[in-house]
Structure 1
Amino acid sequence: MQLFYNPDIDQNSPEFVFPTEESKHIVKVLRKAEGDILHITNGKGFLFEAQILRADMRKCAASITKATFHEKTTPALHLVVAPTKMNDRYEWFLEKATEIGIAEITPIICDNSERKVLKLERMEKVLQSAMKQSLQYHLPKLNEPISAKTFIAQNNPDNNKEQEFYIAHCEETEKTDLKERLAPGNNALILIGPEGDFSASEIALALKLGYKPVSLGENRLRTETAAIFACATMKLVN
């Protein structure tokens, strides 16, 4: 099944027009014609079947013939991950995390971060493409970048009792394997630091506010690998 994405449609949309780029792909590349059926998601849980009304390469129009709602996969995982030095490695993480199944992503700028500027528009496109490729109907939420300490102060067990809070760091202190810490059925938020790891003050703040320290195994992992490992572990536990 070829899945398309249009965030502006819902079950009450009688007719809609695809953007020029997708219109050209539908008509010229896929050679779809009037009367053909397309499958579309709005990234909010809906899968639509739509019939092409006008096979125009600039403004391909279609009307919804069927709408099916799919509930979100539970429990939800929120990965809070520092940007990698190379953009393509962070985009790889976004793509694979979406394929595995993730609810929310927040980039955090840490004391040891080498990259502090991100192109969110490009990152959104990576998420959309991965969602379509993996035939999912919920687009992961991508938040604005925020400093690690500000995020930790605003998001911790004191102000959110509905999920578990974890921090994965490399300091030689007492930690529990993530797979043993994760509670099946519970939502989770996991902090993943930059290549230089979290600073001592960032770790201290997280522990003070109730984050549980976790280990991702004996090997020292790159940031994007650690994030995917955490995502896959969450999926396996649940």
Structure 2
Amino acid sequence: MNLFQGIQTNNFFLIQDEKEIHHCIHVTRHKINDEILVTDFNGMIIKARIVKISKEEIQTEIISTYVEHKLSAKITIGISLAQSSDRFEWFLEKVTEIGVDKVVPLICKRTENTKNKLERWQKIILASSKQCLRPTLLTISEPIKFSEIFKTSQPEQRYICHCEDSTLPYIGKMYQPEKEVLVLIGPEGDFTNDEIEMAKSSKFKEASLGKERLRMETAGVVASVILKTISNIQ
């Protein structure tokens, strides 16, 4: 069943975005009395029936709740931009599916690609959310310099994952799923020693994602899977 974005008004859900209307009528070819899924990405996906179609809007009547967001402690991943834009976009798709709440793109000492593609990233997140029937949108910020992350509001639970020390404790053994968390992932070539020390001085705990050496975007996905899996089984 197709998912469309709209706004809720009492017992009705209105689809008013021009692209959404076009997709509903001309691509998926829905008509009056068809059942579709609608959401405003505020935590619910609604099953609804189309009752009116016009050029300005599609009006649907709410039938029932289809998916409801399960509240859990917020997961934020601060991650370096990738050398390849495609790899970073792949990362965004996957963490949207996994259920990460926020991504903060970082410009680190060894970050090679510093292009800001926020509008494109938001479109990718929206498309991925609709495809996997996610009732909330992952939030992504403008890219910031690594040092700026320490000037933002931070949760009590925060980790920096790197490969400089093979004896670091596994993040899955330290993570407390009842608390919000911020995890930092470095670029190709990893964080510099100065960046690691900067994080430690801001009370970030050093952590490992396992014995394997991972690409940047893979590390971001692995960290997300570890945290979300532990959160889901609580």
TM-score, length-scaled by structure 2: 0.88
State whether residues 50 and 62 of structure 1, in contact with CA within 8 Å, keep that contact through their aligned partners in structure 2. Answer: no
The answer to whether the aligner puts 1:39 opposite 2:19 as a matched pair is no
Distance in 2 between the 1:15 and 1:151 partners?
39
Gaps of 5+ in 1: none
* Structure 1 segments (4+ residues) deviating >6 Å: none
Q: 56, 62, 67: which one pairs with 1:65? A: 62
Identity over aligned residues, as a percent? 32
Q: Which residue matches 1:87?
A: 85
1:192 is matched with which residue?
185
Q: Which amino acid aligns with 1:218?
A: K
Is 41-50 or 211-220 further displaced after alignment? Answer: 41-50
Deviation at 1:184, TM superposition (A): 3.4
- Between the aligned partners of 1:27 and 1:115, the Cα distance in structure 2 is 40
- Take 1:72 and 1:104, find their aligned partners in 2: how far apart are those partners? 16
CA distance in 2, matches of 1:118, 1:221: 24
1:26 Cα shift?
Answer: 1.1
Q: Which amino acid aligns with 1:222?
A: R
Cα RMSD (Å) of the superposition? 2.2
Deviations 1:144-164 (A, max 9, x none): 2111111124344xxx43xx1
1:27-176 alignment to 2 at 5 Å? 27-56=25-54, 58-66=55-63, 68=65, 70-156=68-154, 160-161=155-156, 164-172=157-165, 174-176=167-169
1:5 match? 5
Q: Pick which of 190-199 and 175-184 moved more.
A: 175-184
**Which secondary structure does the structure 2 equivalent of 1:79 belong to?**
strand
Determine if contact 1:81/1:105 at 8 Å carries over to the other structure.
yes
Counterpart of 1:45, as a letter, is: G
Are 1:203 and 2:196 an aligned pair?
Answer: yes
Closer, same or farther: CA 220–232 of 1 in aligned 2, 3 Å: same
Measure how far apart 1:173 and its partner are. 6.4
1:74-115 CA distance string (max 9 Å, x none): 132111111101111111111111111111111111111101
* TM-fit CA distance, 1:121: 0.9
Q: What is the distance in 2 between the residues matched to 1:13 and 1:142? A: 31
Change (3 A) 1:67 1:105: farther
Number of residue-to-residue matches in the alignment? 230
Are the aligned partners of 1:169 and 1:192 in contact in 2 as well (CA < 8 Å)? yes
**TM-score where L is the length of structure 1:** 0.87
SS of 1:176's equivalent in the other structure is: coil
Q: 1 CA distance for matches of 2:18 and 2:72?
A: 35
CA distance in 2, matches of 1:41, 1:95: 19
Q: Which amino acid letter does the alignment assign opposite residue 45 of structure 2?
A: L
* Equivalent position amino acid for 1:180 in 2: K
Give CA-to-partner distance per residue, 1:181-231, whole Å, 9 cap, x none.
212322211000111211221110100111010011222111100000001
Q: Relative to structure 2, which stretch is displaced further, 167-176 or 116-125?
A: 167-176
